[in-house]
Structure 1
């Protein structure tokens, strides 16, 4: 099997973005989403963002204008957008909004091939520094995921949130 097949069969993975290392899975696979929440000891109601497989996917599922997409994607930004259907991906974001990204990096090609959104959450635990290289990641966490994709040292800043067209640094 290849990476895309592994994802479609529920793999949980560590991967590089254009900012920091992330923890991900197929966002439509509820069992894998729950595993990520458990791995991160994450509050079940805290929303997570997704890496979208394409701009067209974002337009299909979220209310957004082309100008905003052209300005920020691909790049180190997470757009907080209103979902067209509030029930869509409700296990990731139970309210009517969804954080979406398209990182400016090679990994994005795998997301496009998979044709499904991937969960994107930092691989660190709350309060710990962001992981910019694989050696920064907790070894117990590495042992619990199915796949680790390393590409060396990354930029080190989390993505900038864009809410209502305004940038919010984290």
Structure 2
């Protein structure tokens, strides 16, 4: 059963996202920087914090297959992969709608999206009602922080809100598997 503290905290983080602000939070993989994935201005702030060129795309998190289908076409074969995956799996889709243009890969008009299984992320996205950005909480080119203590002070200071009640809950985890759907519908593994 969800406690009032958890519910209040998730509401607070959701409100911060609605205001177009950035968050530093533990995802189902590593500590990440996040924001409203439909808000161009908020997405630009993520690129500034990371000192990353906007030509490089970001990952988007959704809470369900139903939410995923609101933003991209999901082939039947991919639905099977999603339902059978036991570890975090990010899939690169073609031709999204409703996602910030700043997230979309300019070269092939694709977007990387993952359905989260992590309890906090799932509850947050459910409360927020929209996808959120998830990109590693580091300056571009530096090592990916797997635990909170690895995140640089620069990143912490530039982020609007830190999901601090989960410092200790985050385990040392790995980045997700990455698959890409080809234009012909084939599924290619980019990172196992």
What TM-score do you get using the length of structure 1 for normalisation? 0.87
Instruction: Name the residue aligned to 1:157.
Output: 174
8 Å contact kept, 1:52–1:100: yes
8 Å contact kept, 2:36–2:130: yes
Shift of 1:160: 1.2
Q: Pick from 80, 96, 112: which aligns with 2:109?
A: 96
| Aligned-pair Cα RMSD in Å | 2.1
SS of structure 1 residue aligned to 2:111 = strand
Distance in 1, Cα, partners of 2:137 & 2:39: 19
SS of structure 2 residue aligned to 1:42 = coil
8 Å contact kept, 1:130–1:156: no
Change (3 A) 1:40 1:50: same
User: How do 1:53-72 residues align onto structure 2 when only pairs under 5 Å count?
Assistant: 53-72=63-82
| Structure 1 or 2: more helix by fraction | 2
SS of structure 2 residue aligned to 1:127 = coil
Change (3 A) 1:163 1:15: same
What TM-score do you get using the length of structure 2 for normalisation? 0.78
Shift of 1:21: 0.7
Shift of 1:88: 4.6
Q: How many residues align?
A: 169
Structure 1: gaps (5+ residues) = none
Distance in 1, Cα, partners of 2:172 & 2:188: 22
Distance in 1, Cα, partners of 2:99 & 2:156: 30
Structure 1 stretches of at least 4 aligned residues deviating more than 4 Å after TM superposition:
none
Instruction: Name the residue aligned to 2:5.
Output: none
Larger radius of gyration: 2
Q: Pick from 101, 118, 131: which aligns with 1:105?
A: 118
